[in-house]
Amino acid sequence: MAASRDQEASSSTPRFAYHVFLSFRGKDIRKTFIDHLHTALLQAGIHAFRDNDEIERGEDIELELKKAIEQSRISIVVFSKDYASSGWCLDELVKIVERKKTSGQVVLPVFYDVDPSYVRNQTGMFGEAFARHEEEVEAETGERKKESMEKVRRWRKALTEVEINLGGKVLQNEAYGYESKFIEEIVQEVRNKLSRTVLMVTQFPVGIDFRVEKINLWLQDQSTDAGIGVIYGMGGIGKTTIAKAIYNMNFERFECSSFLADIRETSKKPYGLVRLQKQLLRDILKGKKQKVHSVDEGIVRIKNAICCKKVFVVLDDIDELAQLNAVFGMREWLYPGSKVIITTRTEKLLKAYEAFKMFKVYELDNKDSFQLFCWHAFGQDHPNKGYKELSLSVLQHCRGLPLALRVLGSSLRGRSLEVWESALEKLEAIPDNYILKILAVSYESLQDELDKKLFLHVVCFFIGKEKEYVAKVLDECGLFPTVGIQKLMDRGLITIESGNKLMIHQLIQDMAREIIRKESPEEPGKRSILCHHEDSFYVLRTKTGTESIQGLILNMHMLREEKLSTTNLNVKNAKRHHTQETLDRSVVSYQGSSPKRRRIGFFSWQPITSALTKLFPVPDEETFTTDAFALMHKLRLLQLNYVQLTGCYKEFPNELRYLCWHGFPLTCIPSDFALERLIALDLQHSSLTQIWKGTKFLGLLKFLNLSYSHGLLRTPDFSGLPSLERLALKYCISLVKIHESIGDLKKLVCLNLRGCKNLRKLPREIIRLKSLEKLILSGCSKLETLPMELKKLESLTELDAENTAINQSCFNAGKGVSWPIPFWSRAIKPSKNVDLPWFSLPCTLVKLNLSECNLSDDAIPRDFSGLPSLMELDLSLNPISSLPEIRYLTLLKSLFVDTCTSLQSLPELPSSLKEIIAIDCNSLERMKMPPKLFKSLDFILLTGCHRLCHIDGLFKLEPIGNFDKKMINKLGLVDLESMGNVEVELCNHRTSARKKGPLQGLYEFGIFSTFLPKSRVPSWFSNKCTGSSISFTVPWIFNLAIQGLRVCVAYVRSDRHEDGRFYDFYITIANKTKGLEWTYGPMFYGDKHEDMIWLSHCNVRNQFQGGDEVNISMFVGVGFRVKECGADFVYDQEETCTQSNSGQEIIQHSTYPSCQNVIDGDLSLYERGNGVYVLSHHDLYPEFFPLQSPPSERWDDPSEYDPLTWQPILDSGEEEEESDEDNDSGEDF
């Protein structure tokens, strides 16, 4: 939740002036029910606040009421028939719901002669009241109108949350409807609630709503099974805050509850575990003191106490399994319906308990981070004038960590600009000690010194690198990384993200570097790792290195940039301007992801600027001598980027396992450079023209990266590299020849030749690479052929041939030209002496990329059955009009056909698909998509497919005249010809495309609809009502069975929503008697006309009968307003239609066409709860139907992305090939 501007700080210990705040509509029930309830509360000794002022309220009274709400333990909200007509009452309700979230205020809804569903759905008299509110909004203009629209949205949300999440007491259902007895029950309920204690959550609960949503859904799932949930994440991320908020929101739902705080620290104290057991027993047994003499005895007593009660227990901050076992035993002890929540930093602590539900806590997104910091630093949701740039700099440092935002914000509050600048300068050198202390708990919990050493090596050298790559390098350093990395993950010190890469939070990285700095604060040459560029520069310049050094990092480009930034640490600092711009951009919502992600850090690189380092300013061209490394006998890991060295390498450390030297300045590696122990050699952006002279034997080398070496003409002899597993030659733009000895690399797994634009052929020996799994050739624009026997690559799983010239040779192969036949030789008629099947590719392929290869329909096969293992297929940017048969690819997960502008249809797709991307296929008209496949898809993107109007099995849109007349008659449209040449404009929810033309009929889920430019519900509807909802009783008509339901909604266009999309255009039909509810969101909606009606008909043969209470509600986007609703039933074997001249109903025989009918058929795919179904092929409004959680905005690298497309941003003049220069562990390694 983004905190509102008038949010006030709460005290750490809440003080209450009232037991109860009464919220009600005075005009309705002030002198009757409310007066009786207030009197009963007072007689019970319960101090209740009641607003007795019936005069017009002013600002002072508004503030007084807000204060009364904040100072009350419990709010009783009495929903009467006229409650929703009062904007004042609804404002009170919003404030009450907010207080529940922020401070755990107890809320008791009371439904006085009101159906709770009217409150939840804003239907009935509540719907009528909101229709009036919305009419008032429409009469406003400008900013005031926007504010009023937002206010109405908050009202609706508050009503929905109160009814869904809090239950309440209903007069009609309790005490037989007698008010006096009902009031007694309310008073008793209040007494029970007052006996329970709520927890103080946090001073400024920014972002709480989103963070607790999934956990609340799990807690409130109505399951009778006992459940245990685990909230895990790094230190300071907000696990305890979330647990407290969850506890306050849910403890009333259980018979007993207990919150055991800070178990990790408490268990370290004498008899700590026993004290925790006593507290748990006391909470569960309602205050009864229990004598517990030992942990074992406590376990038995707890087991006896929880086995017969529905309990809710939170175990906060567990870091050892023994703590969990001591306080709680097996899941089987719990009584049905009980829930337990555990918070921990150690994800795998509870690995043995597979039934646990895991909830990972991520960093706050950019917007919430900014607001939380501002509340702590300025006491409001925005910075003071002149502080924005500095605030954004702090945000970049905190990277969404709530603890850091709170600590730094509070420490800077009320300080001058000069103090802020000074504090930032210090922060860049030495991170805040309190934050580091909290974060260091996980590091100190590592019991093995090797694990601590491993952590420091990973943090300094291998963040952003592939786990397998890191493990193989560090295994040769004796650090046992396979087991150790898992321990680091378990404690939340590092994470594994996309591409199996090791990632870390910026502040944990700072913590690790500070640990290293403290090894020798004044003499950097005595530290184990030199991870700050200035320290490395100083040690090399003064030749003060020692045998303590095991790793060294120096990047001269980065060092010069830092020197520039440190000369002027003020608000005009160029880097801060850059930070502000990037964070301003990244506040927009996440649009997607990119494989070219890079981490950047603004504060973590700089050491203390001591007098020693200031003696040596960095010149434009600094050269070091190789003897500066002479005493570093234990040096294993060395990163020298853009560094110039002179001298011989005979005395250079000979124990190197990892050498990364971007911008290597020599044209050939010196022969006396001892590389024999190397595992990884990374010389990207080098000046090499040849790597070494002759053959060099490097028996341990597994990874070789020479990418972006623009002068490299040919590869070396590979026969001396028997262990090589990965070879990267990306964008070696002068490379013309690959040595034939490449066939000797029996262990080679990945060969990356991306962007080698002068490479014309591959050596035939490549087919001897029996271990090769990945072959990347994209951007080799002159590569025309592949070896004919490519099928011999029996391990190959990925082939990327994007933007190659292979297909262009197809047209010459049949004319006697002596090229090898390409592997899709069906493109032409082969010469007589060649009998090559279309596919000479290995059947092991998992990923195949043939995008931008100029493939036509004749150049690809009719089916891909020869590739049974294929999981990803990319045919984008090819002039194909149809796809081959792919339904038998039973493992296919991803299909990409972006910008295939001639593509007209997609064939039947395999049921295994999870992702379909078909952007800008502007000729695409038809697809085949079974409903089960659509529901199982994780992602489908059809933006720009403007002609798509038919997906077999899902929906069909075509001129209404093409449909069966009997279907049309069910809508009451007997005489279509009389409507003339009416045109409508429809908008597609899925593709955002607009379609303008004659009247269209939409058929999906067995529901037939059309949109007409009319202003009123037709007169033949027997049930009509103004506003967005209608309620009525199904009539009894003997000898006739209900066949269908016909609904009409009249709506009018209003101001367009800012982003032009209307997620919440849907209708809800509820059978209140049977407890059934269907929500339908059409794929298309009518737009542009001043007035529109939406007519629809659906089969509901088995869902309604005479006497059922029905409610129908229409929800539209903020760009529309509902004027009127109508509904009636169509009966079996009969159909009603209206004569235009008399309005008299005529009975006609009709049968429904044979097609998908969901409501009367199998609804299991669409069920969202007991009797609740959602029928939609697009995402409905997420507040009501959270189909999936949106991806969080992360703090990894906001500066690298354009906020509108979420694509990497290239600096002006930067070539595309450079955009992933630092991604040397992704597709390379």
Q: Are 788 and 764 in contact (CB under 8 A)?
A: no
Q: From the DSSP assignment, how many helices (H) and strands (E) are in the chain? A: 30, 50
pLDDT surpasses 50 at 601? no
How far, in Å, are 51, 106, 159, 1146 from residue 76 at the CA level?
A: 13, 9, 14, 53
**DSSP letter for each residue of 217-273:** HHHTS--SS-EEEEEE-STTSSHHHHHHHHHHHHGGGSSEEEEE--HHHHTTSTTHH
Nearest to 506 by CA among 617, 404, 633: 404
pLDDT digits (tens, 9 = 90+) for 330-347: 567 888 889 999 998 877
pLDDT value, residue 1: 38
- Fill in the amino acid letter for 1023: N
* 1147 strand-pairing partners: 1136
**What is the pLDDT, as a whole number, of residue 935?**
76
| 532 close to 605: Cβ distance less than 8 angstroms | yes
pLDDT of residue 405: 86
CA distance 343 to 317: 5
User: Strand 1109-1115 to strand 1066-1071: parallel, antiparallel, or no bridges (unpaired)?
Assistant: antiparallel
Give me 825's structure tokens: 């030789």
Fold topology of 208-360: Rossmann fold (3.40.50)
Q: How sure is the predictor about 1197, in pLDDT bands with cuts at 50, 70 and 90? A: very low
Question: Is the pLDDT assigned to residue 663 strictly greater than 90?
Answer: yes
Yes or no: say if 119 and 80 are a contact pair by the CB < 8 Å rule: no
Identify the pLDDT of residue 502.
92
Nearest-CA neighbor of 5 among 200, 182, 220, 150? 150
- Please list the residues that pair with 413 across neighbouring strands: none
**Token pair 């709860």: residue:** 1169
Q: 1202 near 592, Cβ under 8 Å?
A: no
**Within this chain, domains 18-194 and 208-360 share the same CATH topology:** yes
Q: What is the mean pLDDT of residues 251-259?
A: 86
Q: Looking at the DSSP assignment, which residues form a beta bridge with residue 848?
A: 799, 873
pLDDT for position 171: 82
* pLDDT in the model for residue 762: 92
Lowest mean pLDDT among 364-368, 544-548, 741-745, 1064-1068: 1064-1068
The yes-or-no answer on residue 184 being catalytic is no
Q: Categorize the per-residue pLDDT at 68 as very low, low, confident or very high, splitting at 50, 70 and 90.
A: confident
Residue 697's pLDDT is what?
93
E strands present in 892-1028: 894-896, 905-908, 915-917, 926-928, 939-941, 950-952, 955-959, 983-988, 994-998, 1000-1004, 1007-1012, 1023-1026
Residues above pLDDT 90, as percent of the chain: 28
Which DSSP letter does residue 124 get?
Answer: H
Summarised one tens digit per residue, pLDDT across range 613-630 is 343 444 556 899 999 999
Residue 975 pLDDT = 67
Banded model confidence at residue 742, pLDDT cuts 50, 70, 90: very high
The confidence score (pLDDT) of residue 327 equals 60
The mean per-residue pLDDT over the stretch 687-712 comes to 94
What's the alpha-carbon Rg for the chain, to the nearest Å? Answer: 35
Which residue type sits at 674? A
Q: What is the mean pLDDT of the chain?
A: 79
Q: How far apart are CA 736 and CA 412, in angstroms?
A: 59
Under the banding of pLDDT at 50, 70 and 90, the label for residue 358 is: confident
Helix (H) or strand (E) holding 934: helix 931-936
Of the candidates 70, 92, 514, 1077, the residue annotated as catalytic is 92
Q: Which residue matches tokens 């930034």?
A: 565
* pLDDT band with cut points at 50, 70 and 90 for residue 552: very high
- Superfamily for 18-194? Toll/interleukin-1 receptor homology (TIR) domain (3.40.50.10140)
CA atoms of 392 and 383, how far apart (whole Å) = 10
Q: Give dist(CA 579, CA 390) in Å, integer.
A: 10
Question: CA–CA separation, 149 vs 576, rounded Å?
Answer: 37
- pLDDT confidence of 1133, banded at 50, 70, 90? low
pLDDT for residue 1139 is more than 60: no
User: Domain limits of the chain?
Assistant: 18-194, 208-360, 366-429, 519-569+601-652, 955-1176
Indicate if the pLDDT at residue 870 is higher than 80.
yes
Other C-beta atoms within 10 Å of 1026: how many?
17
Query: Within a 13 Å sphere around the CA of 605, how many CA atoms are in the beta-carbon half?
Result: 21
274-309 pLDDT, tens digit each: 888 888 888 888 766 778 888 888 888 888 888 888
Which of 94-108, 825-839, 1117-1131 has the weakest average pLDDT?
A: 825-839
The pLDDT-based confidence of 7 (bands split at 50, 70, 90) is very low
> 1072: part of which helix (H) or strand (E)?
none
- Which of 13, 181, 180, 37 has the alpha carbon at shortest distance from 108? 37
3-state SS record for 949-965: CEEECCEEEEEHHHCCH
- pLDDT at residue 24 is higher than 80: yes
Residue 1177's pLDDT band, with cuts at 50, 70 and 90, is confident
- Compute CA distances 160 → 70, 173, 784, 1019, 1064, whole Å: 21, 20, 63, 33, 15
pLDDT for res 929: 79
Cα distances (Å, whole numbers) of residue 1158 to 361, 604, 633, 1166: 38, 57, 74, 9
What is the strand order of the sheet 994-998 is part of? Answer: 994-998, 983-988, 1084-1087
Q: In this model, does residue 687 exceed pLDDT 90?
A: yes
